[in-house]
């Protein structure tokens, strides 16, 4: 495969394919395993991820790349094959989460707002990850809607860190996934779709301004934003068509057409909603960028349930994963249909 940033970025958003985010930190994967009463050991985490990466047809047809966590990029399958080699054999590009988490932003909003850390030593870590096979990376910034939030201080600090991260990635020959996430699970009851549109537009403008200042090559990156959607606690929910149209409107106003692709996070939407929204957006058509998925929860939740931590359920887990991968692959082409969910 070509090693040019532009080619890698385009391959990540190839037609009908998207990204499997499997970069849950040890803390997050423990929470997910708790729900199926499974102790989060190194072997359990390996078995779970090995099950996903060995879903060969799903990986080949619908998954362009996988975002890994530090432990996983170094881990071997039960038979000793590096997990990275398994996904590469299926034609998927290995990626790596490189931020070290969202930490309270010092100041008056420290109880609500965070700034994502991980810039110290990042140049050296990227060189190491490149040797381990990573050709793209991810950094997630978190923006929270609440009374008086987000503050400009928070938007600016996170946008600046994203740009410094993206520039370091490109220097290392690694495509940055730039992920500014406006959370949909805030406490704020007035957090309707208009508020999400306003904050998402503000955030994306700040991010692209910082990317420009840092001289990031937009053709060699992928944007991973939230969809424009009402907060989960808001009584006024928007229709799926509204979510699709409002999201496209904000993206058209803020994302230069030189960016090859946009791969959404699912953010707590139901599996089917995340798929439907993506499909409706692609059905609008005439877009300057590829629009696809980079989901954790909306790709994995069903597979995790079906597996339940039991080796006898590996095939069932893989079937559940393959189904969601196929549904989202179709959504990336604007060709998903609810009937396909029922048929399965
Ligand atoms: P969700 O799809 O579960 O929101 O996760 C995406 C992700 O990678 C968050 O950083």
- pTM comes to 0.97
Interstrand relation of 175-182 and 222-223 (parallel, antiparallel or unpaired) = parallel
DSSP code of residue 82: B
Among residues 17, 97, 138, 224, the one annotated as catalytic is 224
Residues 6+ apart with CB under 8 A from 333: 15, 16, 282
Q: What is the position in ligand 1's atom list of the atom closest to the CA of 140?
A: 10
Q: Does residue 297's CB lie within 6 angstroms of at least one atom of ligand 1?
A: yes
Residues lower than pLDDT 50 in the chain: none
CA atoms within 13 A on the CB side of 303: 28
Give the number of other Cβ atoms within 10 Å of residue 177's Cβ: 30
Measured CA to CA, the distance from residue 221 to residue 234 in angstroms comes to 33
| Catalytic annotation present for 50 | no
| Phi-psi group of 231: left, alpha or beta (phi > 0 → left; psi -120 to 50 → alpha; rest → beta) | beta
pLDDT of residue 187: 64
| Catalytic annotation present for 97 | no
Among residues 24, 113, 179, 195, the one annotated as catalytic is 179
- pLDDT tens readout for residues 49-75: 999 999 999 999 999 999 999 999 999
DSSP code of residue 117: -
pLDDT of residue 342: 83
- pLDDT tens readout for residues 126-163: 999 999 999 999 999 999 999 999 999 999 999 999 99
Residues 6+ apart with CB under 8 A from 80: none
Q: Does residue 267's CB lie within 6 angstroms of at least one atom of ligand 1?
A: yes
């Amino acid at each position: 495969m070509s090693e040019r940033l532009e080619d890698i970025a385009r391959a990540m958003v190839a037609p009908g394919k998207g990204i499997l985010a499997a970069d849950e930190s040890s803390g997050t994967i423990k929470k997910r395993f708790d729900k199926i009463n499974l102790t989060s050991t190194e072997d359990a985490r390996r078995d779970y991820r090995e099950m996903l990466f060995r879903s060969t047809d799903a990986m080949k047809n619908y998954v362009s790349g996988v975002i890994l966590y530090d432990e996983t990029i170094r881990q071997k399958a039960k038979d000793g094959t590096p997990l990275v080699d398994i996904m590469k054999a299926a034609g998927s590009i290995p990626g790596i989460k490189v931020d070290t988490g969202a930490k309270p932003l010092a100041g008056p909003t420290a109880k609500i707002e965070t700034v994502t850390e991980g810039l110290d030593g990042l140049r050296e870590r990227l060189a190491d990850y490149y040797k381990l096979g990573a050709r793209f990376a991810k950094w997630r910034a978190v923006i929270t809607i609440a009374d008086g939030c987000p503050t400009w201080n928070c938007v600016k600090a996170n946008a600046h860190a994203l740009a410094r991260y993206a520039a370091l990635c490109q220097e290392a020959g690694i495509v940055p996934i730039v992920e500014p996430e406006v959370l949909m699970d805030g406490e704020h009851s007035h957090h309707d779709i208009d508020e999400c549109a306003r904050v998402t537009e503000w955030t994306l403008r700040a991010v692209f301004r910082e990317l420009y200042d840092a001289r990031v090559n937009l053709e060699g990156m992928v944007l991973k934003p939230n969809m424009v959607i009402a907060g989960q606690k808001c009584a006024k929910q928007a229709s799926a068509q509204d979510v699709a149209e409002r999201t496209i409107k904000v993206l058209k106003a803020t994302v230069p057409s030189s960016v090859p692709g946009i791969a959404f996070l699912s953010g707590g939407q139901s599996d089917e909603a995340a798929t439907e929204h993506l499909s409706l957006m692609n059905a609008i058509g005439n877009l300057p960028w590829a629009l696809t998925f980079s989901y954790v929860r909306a790709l994995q939740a069903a597979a995790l349930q079906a597996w339940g931590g039991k080796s006898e359920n590996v095939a069932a887990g893989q079937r559940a994963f393959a189904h969601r991968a196929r549904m989202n692959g179709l959504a990336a082409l604007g060709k998903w249909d609810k009937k396909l969910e029922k048929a399965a």
